[in-house]
Every structure is written in structure tokens, then in C-alpha cells.
Amino acid sequence: MKFFSFLSIGRATNVQSVMNTLTNENNKSFDLKSIDSFSLVDLSNQFISIKERIKFSKKELGDLLLFNKNVDGIIVAKNISLEKFDNIRNMFDDIPKVMLINGFVIITDLSVSKIHAFGLSYFLVQVGAYSLTSNYSLVGLNELSIAIPGNGFVQPDSCLLPKGRAQPNVDIPTVAFEMYYSKGVSYAVARARILFRISGIQYVLCICIRPRDPNNNNTFKCTALVFNGVISRENPVSIISFGTKPISQINENQYQTITVGVPAVGYKRTNPVQCNAPNLPMFLISIPSTIIFNGVPNPPANIPPALNLDLFILQSSFLEYVEDFTGNLHHQ
């Protein structure tokens, strides 16, 4: 096997050229590796330090990770225990999202967009209002590291942790919220399945945002995947299209296989119902309070029946910050 010299790569001119280099037959160590349905660039076999692999990823693979939906992350180390990762955690201080699965250290994001920050802000504002009605009986937390079975951990973008939850889930959230920019729904499904390995998590909401399409009036797709663990811990129970661009028939067919026969709803070519106003029933997501306070022996009295999220407000907060494929921002 021929091992690859990092110095010979140089800055790639576009995403596809990086992809070709990484999968070239003469450079087997750069093949994509599949772990738990994630498609990953494997740097763990390179004869350089973990710190140098991280540096190389930041310099050379940022566009690949951001814009190629067939690449979900980068493996920068293997055979790493939780204890060992704690010793090297400081190497990842400026990496937005890392997970440890079966001893593999995987970088899934090298940068965080403004739409990510706006989406999390909206979620936490809604959580704050809901928490007020429940006498502050739960907290919203960002980037909480949660141990998963099989020597690993995962960090949901945000989560809900009710107070007073009984053992063994006293420090485990009931609801996880994730946002992905320029990643496909298959990535969201893989992430949700990892989160559901944590027995205390009952509900996962994933929001997928695609870049603008300059060939279609700079519109963009947004998709919400709702996972209710009471019903299924493998597949979403609903998929809602709420962007300014409808999902295609190909998208619909793919999503129907993911939901095991449940059709996607919302803005789609076969039924163009647009998400263009607040409080439209099709674009409202309600997380039941019984799920939020799962495992709490004495949940607070007089709480509302659900935490409600309006996808139109999310879409509106994205409008200014969703990039097109050339990297240009659109101010509306």
C-alpha cells in the first residue's frame, strides 16, 4: 500500500478534485470508510500526529466536508478510549463538533455558520418560554457531551434536560435538537440513531438546510426530520419540507424509504404547499410534555401540553444567511 504525502496535495481548486485525490487507487489509505452509516474520510492511518491530522483537515478538507453531502466527517484517530480522549480533548478546542464512536475520533464539522447559531437561538428562546410556564423545571443545554455505549460520546447541538429525572437517566436529556448545513437527510438519520443509543433520549429533531440554488432564483431547501423514540428509534416519524425551494420527486421517494412508507409533507413539487406564514398547522412541530418530562416522578403542574416550534420562524431566520453554491451571502 502506498501511503500519501500530505505535502503533495496542495490546495484543491474544488470539492470534486479533493474527492478524486482521496479515492485514487494509488492512495488506498484515503478511501472513504463507513462507520455506523457515516461516510468518512479516514486519516487515522497516516504517519503523522493527531494534531497534524487536525491541522490538515482544517486547511485542506473544509470545503469537502461542507459541500459534499457524500462525506459526513473525518476520522483523525482510532483506538481511543474515553479516558484517552479526555487527555487530548484540548486539541479539539476550536473544532465545533466531534464525536467518539467505537474508539474512532470523528470530526463532523470544521466551522459553524450563522444559520446554525440563529436556529439554536430560536430553539433556546422557545425552551425558555416553555420553562417559565413549568416553573423552570428544565434547562436547555448546547453541545453537551453524552456518553454512548461502546466507548464513545456524542454532542447534540442542543438538548432539554428536565430537573428531577430518576436514575439511571438523572443527567440524560429527554430531547435532542440538531442542525445541519449542507448535509443530507441520511446523515441526520445516522446521527439520530447514534443519539438513540442513549436510552434516556426520547425525541430527536433534526433540521437540514441546503445551500441556495443559483439556477432556481437562489431558493433553498430546508427539511425537518422528527424522531419520536416512543414510536421508532430507527426512523423519523415525519419529514417536513419548509424551505423556499420544494423538494423533488427523487427527494420524496428517498424520504419515503427512510420513514418506512410515511410520505414527506410540506413544500414539494407534487403538492406545493409553501411555508410562507406563521402558525400554519403543517409547519408546526409540537413536542409533547409527557416526552419532555419522561422519567420525572413528579412533573410540574399546569405545564402546557407541548413545546411548540414554528418552522416558518426558523426559515425566516435563515433567509439572510443561507449561502449559494458560490459562497455568496444573500441579504433580503
All residues at 6 or more sequence positions from 206 whose CB lies less than 8 Å from its CB, including other chains: 178, 179, 180, 188, 191, 192, 224, 225, 227, 236
Per-residue pLDDT band for 25 (boundaries 50, 70, 90) equals: very low
* Domains defined along the chain, listed by start: 6-109 (no CATH), 114-318 (3.90.1570)
Q: pLDDT at residue 83 above 50? A: yes
Q: Read off the pLDDT of residues 206-250 as tens digits, 9 standing for 90 and up.
A: 999 988 888 888 899 999 999 999 999 999 999 999 999 999 999
CA-to-CA distance for 162 and 60, rounded, in angstroms? 41
> Whole-number mean pLDDT of the chain?
84
Cβ neighbours around 285 below 10 Å, total:
18
Q: What are phi and psi of 180, to 5 degrees?
A: -130, 130
CB-based contact 207:319 (threshold 8 Å): no
Residue 181 pairs in a beta bridge with 209
User: How far is Cα 296 from Cα 290, in angstroms, rounded to an integer?
Assistant: 9
Tell whether pTM > 0.75: yes
Q: Which string of DSSP letters, residue by residue, matches 111-134?
A: ---HHHHHHHHHHHHHHHHHHHHT
pLDDT band at 117 (very low <50, low <70, confident <90, very high): confident
Amino acid at 256: Q
Counted residue by residue, the chain has a size of 332
Model confidence at 19, pLDDT cuts 50, 70, 90, reads: very low
Model pLDDT, residue 30: 57
